[in-house]
Amino acid sequence: MNEELKKVMEVAEVWTKEPFDAETRAQVKAMMDAEDKTELLDAFYRTLEFGTGGLRGIMGPGTNRMNKYIVAMATQGYANYMLKVQREGGFDHVQDGRVAVVVGHDCRNNGRLFAETVANIFSANGIKVYLFESLRPTPEVSFAIRHLKCQGGVNVTASHNPKEYNGYKAYWEDGSQVLQPHDQGIIDEVNKVTLADVKWEANKDLIEIIGGEMDYDYMMAVKDVMIDQDSILRQKDLNIVYTPMHGAGRQIVPMCLRSWGFQNIHVVPEQMVIDGNFPTVVSPNPENAEAMTLGMKLGTKLGADLVIASDPDADRIAIVCRNDKGEWVIINGNQTNIMYHYYIINNMKRLGKMRDDMYIVKTIVTSELIRKIADAQGVTLTDEYTGFKWIANRIRMWEGKRKYIGGGEESFGFLPYDAVRDKCSPSAICLICEIAAYAKDNGMTLYDYLLKIYADYGFQRETTINVVRPGKTGAEEIQQMMKDYRANAPKEIAGEKVCLIKDYKTLKQCKLENGQWVESDIEMPLNATSNVLQYFTEGGLKVSVRPSGTEPKIKFYFEIPVKTELGKPFTGADYERCTAEAEARVPAIKESLGL
């Protein structure tokens, strides 16, 4: 027996005894007795790490799995940290001298079990808990934290990951996922906790069930996002197909759409069923075209104008509309964000709602076309790190000083208001339907509206390349790739000279000026760093390189511009030609990066 297996067997042996329940003990014993120890090694070779956003992992028994014991220890550590912050007077407000949290979950298997475990342990530590009665969208959990003036919260979800996964997102009092210094503070406390430290005995008097009344308040907050009600009223019969992908948007999204005035809403019946096994899709990720198949099939049958989906925890969206040939096309995350920002700015100006203190936000890997729009319209735009907690941080920094009107990221997330501090599919879905209604009111489809933006600001194609490197050796390989890019930055990419390099790990950038490289600082909120590299070429090409924080892969984001004549009508044929021209450059870009 090698040393690694010996250590794993010692750890697993503990899980075959009390206080672990009989089912867990039997499952671990079966793994230990199996001739093939692969499953045992994977389940126990490490402890599932509580990262800056919380936990995420495959469900099952073991230290490297999502189960009620790992969830319990994480919650005890989080509770310990919150009580510590309270003692030190670190919260903005605490009602009646008691820390309070909101706890929610989505449709995933074991979601209710884990959420009730979280609620019980918080209450056992003297913390007031508002527990949702059943599955709810991630953004509604964020809303409830703010609405109830709580100090934090937990949502049990693995977002759009495969069915084997579940997770645990930790939130702070502003309704956003935790940021420094609290993220590291919670991690430190969680790492101190053993199973013996967990307070299991719930104080039921401190657990309050919430549901319909919060749904109503949330729905009314979503309604405040509406910009142009007249267009909606004229196009109230816009033909909409929606699917919640078996998840948490199933009730609230249709409710919100109706509250905005849309009356012709259809749902995909097979995917309205709450089911953590996601039986109708390979993966419940609306970014994958396959996941939209049933929606498009129903859309074709009903002659729908657009098909929309939310992921299992209803924070991300996907949009499918008809092109000029009547065919279904999926609007990617960058295009979605481009349309949102273009519409918000232009229509708030048209209706006299725009103010000088208003601003928009994008992440550093999201389309630079949004910057072109903002600059041309004289609207402030900030760039933030990937992840909505950074957009939320910007809102917090400027709260009371400037007015946030929209922000998003390329991975199918958008937030058009500040009542929530995370991606919000109910509000984003309602707003994209408003955009479609406005377009139809002006003789256009949603697809035509996108082409109009390209006509006004030029065309570029955004493509993401994922290089997967699983396991320990894979993680080391990804680290080495980033080291190599830093040590030997490309001087040219696809034949274009690199003129700007940004390194968000060192917060330094080098710009080519008059043939000389000039170094300067990059200013980011909290002076926070991120392991991201960006290269910009003289021809307008942008390449971002970022290891994933939750999956064993390194991501390459390409933004490839194609020259067009601005102001000239941009047709579907132009779109296809420019898309093909951009994609034809991808192999040369990959070759320049050694991929």
Q: Decide if pLDDT at 551 tops 80.
A: no
Q: What is the DSSP string of 36-87?
A: --HHHHHHHSSPPP--SSEEEEEBSSSTTSB-HHHHHHHHHHHHHHHHHHHH
Residue 87: Cβ within 10 Å count: 8
Tell me phi and psi for residue 152, to 5 degrees.
180, -170
341: left (phi over 0), alpha (psi -120 to 50) or beta: alpha
Residues present in the chain in total: 595
Whether residue 373 contacts residue 338, with contact meaning beta carbons closer than 8 Å, is answered with yes
Answer whether 153's CB lies under 8 Å from 305's CB.
Answer: no
* 241: region left, alpha or beta (phi > 0 left; psi from -120 to 50 alpha): beta
Catalytic residue, candidates 123, 134, 142, 159: 159
DSSP annotation of 291: G
CA distance 117 to 110: 10
Structure tokens at 61: 């028994």
CA pair distance 365, 465, nearest whole angstrom: 13
Residues 6+ apart with CB under 8 A from 492: 498, 537, 592
* DSSP strand pairing (358-363 vs 508-513): unpaired
Which of 261, 314, 298 is CA-nearest to residue 306?
A: 298
pLDDT score for 561 = 97
**Mean pLDDT rounded to a whole number for the chain:** 95
Return the structure tokens found at 320: 């499918």
One fold for 46-210 and 218-457: yes
Mean pLDDT within 45-69: 92
Q: Measured between alpha carbons, how far is 77 from 99 in angstroms, rounded to an integer? A: 15
Residue showing tokens 């230290």: 63
Buried b (16+ CB within 10 A) or exposed e, 90-119: beeebeeeebbbbbbbbbbebbbebbbbbb
DSSP for 114-128 reads: HHHHHHHHHHHTT-E
Is 159 noted as a catalytic residue in this protein?
A: yes
**The pTM is what?**
0.95
Instruction: Give me the percent of the chain exceeding a pLDDT of 70.
Output: 99
Only one residue has tokens 């990066």, namely 593
| pLDDT digit string, tens, across residues 490-519 | 999 999 999 999 999 999 999 999 889 999
* Dist CA 394 CA 384 (whole Å): 8
The CATH classification of domain 46-210, taken from the options 3.40.120.10, 3.30.2010.10, 3.40.605.10, 3.40.50.1100: 3.40.120.10
Side chain identity at residue 461, one-letter code? R
For the ranges 3-7, 315-319, 533-537, 540-544, the lowest mean pLDDT is seen at 3-7
Closest CA to 340 of 427, 222, 463: 427
The DSSP secondary-structure symbol of 332 reads: P
Hey, which residues does 306 pair with through a beta bridge? Answer: 240, 321
Which pLDDT value is given to residue 3?
Answer: 85
| Arithmetic mean of pLDDT, 368-385 | 97
Q: Is it the case that residue 90 has pLDDT exceeding 80?
A: yes
Over 70: is that where the pLDDT of 480 sits?
yes
Tokens at 269, concatenated: 């019946």
Fold for 218-457, please state it.
Answer: Alpha-D-Glucose-1,6-Bisphosphate; Chain A, domain 3 (3.40.120)
Residue 319 backbone dihedrals phi, psi, to 5 degrees: -130, 130
Confidence category of residue 305, pLDDT binned at 50, 70, 90: very high
On whether the CB atoms of residues 39 and 12 are closer than 8 A, the answer is: no
| Number of Cβ atoms within 10 Å of the Cβ of 502 | 20
What residue type is assigned to position 542 of the chain? K
Residue 236 in this model has a pLDDT that exceeds 70: yes
Condensed to tens digits (0 to 9), the pLDDT of residues 455-465 reads 999 999 999 99
Per-domain boundaries in the chain: 46-210, 218-457, 459-592
* Residue 590, number of CB atoms within 10 A of its CB: 16
